[in-house]
Amino acid sequence: MERQKEQKFIIHGGKPLKGEVEVLGSKNAATPLLAASILFEKPITLDNIPLVEDVSRMIAILKSIGAKVSWLSKRKVRIDTSELTPTTIDQELVQMLRSSILFIGPLLARFGTCTIAHPGGCIIGARPLDTHFQAFRDLGVEIMTQKGKKGNIYTFDSQNIHGGEVILEEFSVTATENILLLTSLLNEKVTVKLAAREPHVQDLIRFLRLAGVGIKEEGEHALHIRGKKRLTPLAHRVIPDYIEAGTFLILSHLYRENIKVHNAPYEFLDAVIKKIRDVKEGKPINIQTLPYPGFPTDLQAPFGVLATQLKGISRIHDPLYENRFGYLEELKRMGAKAKLLNPHEALIEGPTSLTGATIKSFDLRAGITLILAGLIAKGETIIHNAYQVDRGYERIDERLRALGAQIKRVNG
C-alpha cells in the first residue's frame, strides 16, 4: 500500500459557518476491533467503520496475513480470518502505524507466536512499548529483540502463557487492549490493574463479552478476564468518535453555536462539556489532561485554538506526551500569544485575531487544530501534510465545506 501524494489544505478564513454535522465512527474503537477479528475462526461483521487512513492500513495488514475482507455497505465490513499466515504480515505497513501494535495480542492468542516490527505513528513524544512488554512477560510470554533495517524486530512466544495478575505501569489504552486480546482465548483467570477505561476500551470489552469472553470490572481500573478457546462470531457496531465530537463542539462554540452536532456520545464527554461551559461563562481555560474520565489529551490542542479567542490567560498542562505542544509554534506564526513553560505546560493569552500563514501539520491532533485556526483566521492559510488529518478525520474538507467553509485540498 503506497502513501498518497503529498497534499495540503488551503483555507480562506473568516467566513461564517453554520449547518449540521454528524459524528462518525471512532477510529480508536475500530482499530482494536479489526485486530480482534483474528481471534475468530468464523467471519465477524463490523458496522459504522470510519473511512480513515489508519483503518485502511489496519485492513491492509489483515489482508497481508490472509484475511478475506468484504464490504457489505459503505461502512459495514465482513472479515473472515479462518485461514491466516502470520509470517506474511506486511512489516512496512506495521512500521507506519502505531495501532499495529494491537496485532500482537490476538496473533499470540491464536497462533502462539508472532514476529512484528516496531510500530510507527504520530510524533508526539516517546511512546515506548515497555508497558506492553512487561504485561506480556507477567503472563509468561517470551520476547526476543533483534535489529532490523528500519528499527527493532520483535518475536513473541506464548507457549508458556498462564493466568495471573498484571499491574500496568501506566493507564495505557493500547496495553489494556492488547492484554484483553491476548487473554481472550485463555481459559484461566487474569486480573489487570491500572487498566485504561477510555470509551474505545469499553467498546472492545462489550464486543469481547458478546463473543463469550468473561470480563468483570472491579472499581474504575481493574479487570478480571477469563477467556474461552473458541469465540462466538458476531456483528458489532462501532461507537461514535468522542474525540471527533469534541472537535466539532469546539468548532460550534467558535461559531456561536450555529453548527449543530449530531450523534455525539455525550456520555463520554463530561470533562469536555464542563470546559465548554466554563468558556460560555467567560472564563479562560485551565486544562490538565488525564486518563479517562479526565480531560482527553487528544482534545487539548483544539482547545488551544479556542483559548486564543478567550479573554485572559489560559493554562494547559499535558503530562502524557512531551511533544503535544508542537502546534503552538504554528499558532504563533498566525499571531497567537502563547508561551511554552516546559514540554508539558503552556500559557495562551487572548483574545487575539489570527492571520493566515503557511504552516505544517505535525500529527493528527495538531492537524485538525490548525484547520480550526485557519477557519477563524483572516486571509489565506496553507496547511502542509494533510495526510496526518486524514488518519483520523474522514473527508474533513468536504464536511467543512458543507458548513460553508472555504477549504480545498491540493497536491504538492
Separation CA 7–CA 30 (nearest Å): 25
Separation CA 246–CA 253 (nearest Å): 11
Q: Strand 44-47 and strand 235-237: pairing?
A: parallel
* Structural contact between residues 203 and 28, judged by C-beta atoms closer than 8 angstroms: no
The question of whether 114 is a catalytic residue gets the answer: no
Residues 6 or more apart whose Cβ sits within 8 Å of residue 119: 94, 95, 97, 98, 99, 100, 101, 129
Q: Strand 68-73 and strand 76-80: pairing?
A: antiparallel
* Structural contact between residues 396 and 387, judged by C-beta atoms closer than 8 angstroms: no
Strand extents, DSSP E, 84-220: 113-117, 142-148, 151-157, 164-167, 189-193, 214-218
Phi/psi at 216 (5° precision): -115, 140
- List the 286-288 sheet strands across, edge first: 286-288, 312-317, 345-350, 337-342
Query: How many H-runs (helices) and E-runs (strands) does the chain carry?
Result: 14, 21
Selecting among 65, 79, 102, 122, the annotated active-site residue is 122
Q: Strand 312-317 and strand 337-342: pairing?
A: unpaired
Active-site residues, by number, are: 122
